[in-house]
Amino acid sequence: MTRYRLTPQQHLFLFFLILTLLWFQTEFLAVRLPYNVEWPFFYGSHFGAWLLVGPLFYFYVRAIVHKELPFHSRGLLHFVPFVIFVLILPLFSDELLTSRQVNYGMLTTFDPFNDSVSPMQYVYGYIFILQFIHLLLYLVKAFFLIRNYEARLKGNYSSLEVGAIRWLTTLNVLLLLMLVLVAFFLILFFFRRSYNRDLDYMYVIPTAIFIYLIGYRLSGVQWPSASEPAGNASKYEKSSLKADLSKVFGSQLELFMEQHKPYLNNELRLQELADLIHIPSHHLSQVINEQLHTTFFAYVNRYRVEEAKKLILAEPNSSLLDIAFKAGFNNKTSFTNAFKKFTTQTPVGFRRQHRPQ
């Protein structure tokens, strides 16, 4: 994967997200050591430090989608629960974590064998559970933000680094999966009323994997801008484009695509195509979305697939990669995915089927 510089805010959120997950890994290892770590904030997951993960991941996604995200006072409100429960309240509760709770977690508050539990320990017992529900809400918000971002990109670009978007989506889904494991762990605890700390591996090991995914798969991706909203019916409610003119634009677009083959440019964008055929870009987007019932991305790649099919038949000795480039694709993965989408076959299968006997 090609690496580029992140924007400053993407770098900031990603750095603190990785740092937080490393903190949890270090804490997990430390509770298995024969001595206690005296730093007051070290056992953060006991106090609710997962309250930090959701906002960090959500703001990381927003920094990708919106490129520059002004960090105003309303944005800081997302981190208030973390500040209160992890950084402030523990300073005023010296006896909040007993030795048992350091080694076995705040869920031991609900252990029937405890002789005495303070009200604050009960608060943190519930905070330990609520922090994962809090994370779930942010992951759901981030998931829809990623989906919307992908739709907006497909309305403006004919070629995308879909692998990067897929990794971002995968990370979101894996974090959701981790929450499923946490939920299973909590259910086991409340049914059995006993805590086996080895069960922590159910979510600690996946967390270690997430650190790799974030640090090595997403740290240097160049995320394209997507300023245009996703194509939908409400987008064009106030459009000045009339139905008869829309049909004219549609015919003009199809004729231009067939005669001039602009799709052979693997970096073709909506604005560039609009300039070539002298149609306002927002009207061109409306024609493609409403009249042709597709996205700009799919529309252009359908032409590229048809071009590739002709080339496969005409050049049986050319490599499929050469054919992909000639047809306007910029990598083999995009070529294969588009070919399968529009023909239900792989390029290899299509060539084999039509190979002269």
| pTM over 0.85, yes/no | no
Cβ–Cβ contacts within 10 Å for residue 12, how many? 17
Supply the pLDDT for residue 231: 47
Supply the pLDDT for residue 1: 36
Q: Which sequence spans correspond to the domains of the chain?
A: 8-217, 233-353
In 3D space, the residue among 221, 227, 254 whose CA is nearest the CA of residue 155 turns out to be: 227
pLDDT under 50: residue ranges of the chain: 1-6, 229-231, 233
| DSSP structural state of residue 219 | T
Q: 145: which residues sit within 8 A by CB, 6+ positions away?
A: 58, 61, 62, 65
Distance CA(137)–CA(171), nearest Å, equals 15
Supply the pLDDT for residue 50: 92
Task: List, as one string, the DSSP characters of 172-203.
Answer: HHHHHHHHHHHHHHHHHHHHHT---GGGGHHH
Supply the pLDDT for residue 129: 86
CA-angle at 117, arms to 113 and 119, nearest 5°? 150
Task: List, as one string, the DSSP characters of 41-62.
Answer: TSSHHHHTGGGGHHHHHHHHHH
Supply the pLDDT for residue 4: 39
How is residue 317 written in tokens?
């000795």
Supply the pLDDT for residue 177: 83
CATH superfamily of 233-353: Homeodomain-like (1.10.10.60)
Query: Mind listing the pLDDT tens digit for each residue in 325-353?
Result: 999 998 888 899 899 999 999 999 999 88
**Hunting for tokens 């049909």 — which residue is that?**
247
Taking the mean position of all CA atoms in its chain, how far away is CA 352? 37
Query: Mind listing the pLDDT tens digit for each residue in 212-240?
Result: 777 777 776 677 776 554 445 456 656 67
| DSSP structural state of residue 220 | T
Supply the pLDDT for residue 26: 84
